[in-house]
Amino acid sequence: MIIEPKIRGFICTTAHPTGCATNVQRQIDHVVIKGPIPSERKRVLVLGCSTGYGLASRIVTTFGSGADTVGVSFEREPGETKPASAGWYNNRAFENRARAAGSKAVTIEGDAFSNEVKAQTIEAIKETLGQVDLIVYSLASPVRTDPKDGVTYRSAIKPYGTQVTSKTLNTGTGEVSEVTVEPATEEEAAATVKVMGGEDWELWIEALSEAGVLAEDFASLNYTYLGSELTWPIYHKGTLGKAKADLDRAAAAIRAKHGDNAAHVVALKAVVTQASSAIPVVPLYGTLLIKVEDEMGLGEGPIHQIDRLFRDKLQGTIVLDDNNRIRVDDWELSDAMQAELKKRWAVLNTENLAALADLPKYREEFMRLFGFAVGGVDYSKDVDPRVVD
C-alpha cells in the first residue's frame, strides 16, 4: 500500500515503516561517527523506548557503549492495510540493527504503568540481561491507571492558581494569536502529578529491587523539561511544573533508599514532540527556538542531546545543579539565547513569523516523528505496513 500522512488536529494517525527505519539508522550513524562512549553500564532498561529521548537513549547506550537493552513502550501493531504506530516501526528497526551489531535487544510492548508489564519486563531482564545497571525513565502519557487501586487519572496541562493569557500559534495556518487558559482545579493538578510525577518511577525501582534484578551500583535517570520563562506560565508554573517537582521528590526518595547515585532527574531542551504540539504557547516557542538555535549553531534534536548527556555530562565527576539535577538544557537556557528569544517574542506576530521563527522546519520535524518528510525515502513506493527494514 501507499502510506501517506493523515493529520487530525495535533495527531498524525499514520506512520511510514521505511521513513521510521531511516530515521533510526541516521541516529545510529550520528553516534557511531562520533566514536565510542566509555561506560561500565552495559545492561540497560529504557522505559518509554520507542520515540524521542527514550529511543535516543537506547541507541546511544547500544551503539555508543555496546550495551544490551530491554525496552518498554505502548504501541499499535500494523494490519494488512493499516500502518502501525511510529514507535512500533522504530522498535523493530532498532532491534534489527542492534542484533546485527551483536547486542541483545528485547522490547516489551504494553502499559508500562501496569503490574503485568512490570512482571513481563522483569522476566525479560532475568532471561536476557540477568540484572540492569542503568534504568532510563522516559515515559510520556496523558493517562495513567494506578495499579494499586485501579483508578485512572488524566493529566490537565493548565496554569495553576490563575488564568494565563499569552501568544500561541496555529501550526496549520501559521496564525499567531492570543489564548487565555483557565487555571486547573486542585483535582486536575493532583491528577497531573499522578500521571506525570515520580510515583511510577519509584514503583519501577521497587519492583526491580524486590525481584533482585537491580545491580548493586545501579543508576536511574528520569528526563524532564524545565523550560524558558516564556513558557513558564503554562508549563513550569502550571500543573506540569507541579508534576516535574514531584520527580525531584521521587529522586530524593530513591537516593535515600538506594544510594547517592541511584536516581537523578535530567533536564533536557525543548524538542518537537506530538505531546508538546498540543500544549498552548509551546509550539510558537518551538518555532522561535528552532530559528534562533540554528542561527547560533546550537541546534540539537533528541539524539544530539542524549549523545551529549552520555558522552560529556555522565563522564567523570557528574555536575549537578542546586536541585541535584543533571542539566543538558544549558545551551537553550543560556543568557544569550534567552535574550534573543525574548526580544523576538515581544514583537512576534503572524506577519513577521516567517522572518523571526521557522514554522516550515517545525512542521518538517513533526512529520519526521512519523517517518514522513525524510530525505531519500520514496513515498510513492508500495510498502507492506507489517514489514520493517
Per-residue pLDDT of 156-200, as tens digits, reads 989 999 999 999 999 989 999 999 999 999 999 999 999 999 999
Please state the length of the chain. Answer: 389
Say if residue 279's pLDDT is above 90: no
Encode burial over 311-347: b for 16+ CB neighbours within 10 A, e otherwise.
bebbeeeeeeeeeebbbbbebbbeeebeebbeebbee
Q: Answer whether residue 362 shows pLDDT above 80.
A: yes
206 closest CA partner among 218, 194, 197: 218
Task: Kindly report, residue by residue over 250-272, the tens digit of the pLDDT.
Answer: 999 999 999 999 999 999 999 99
**What domains, with CATH codes, occur in the chain?**
7-140+197-279+306-328+364-368 (3.40.50.720)
Residue in 323, 324, 315, 306 with CA at minimum distance from that of residue 262 = 324
Count the Cβ atoms, other than its own, within 10 Å of residue 389. Answer: 15
- pLDDT value at position 77? 95
User: Whole-angstrom Cα distance, residue 132 to residue 343?
Assistant: 46
pLDDT bucket at 243, cuts 50 / 70 / 90:
very high
Answer yes or no: is pLDDT of 5 > 80: yes
Three cell numbers written together for 87: 514507535
275 pLDDT more than 80: no
Please identify which of the residues 53, 137, 160, 235 carries the catalytic annotation.
235
Query: What pLDDT is attached to residue 62?
Result: 98
Compute the distance between CA of residue 129 and CA of residue 213 in angstroms, rounded to an integer.
9
Whether 89 is catalytic is no
Question: What pLDDT shows up at residue 87?
Answer: 97
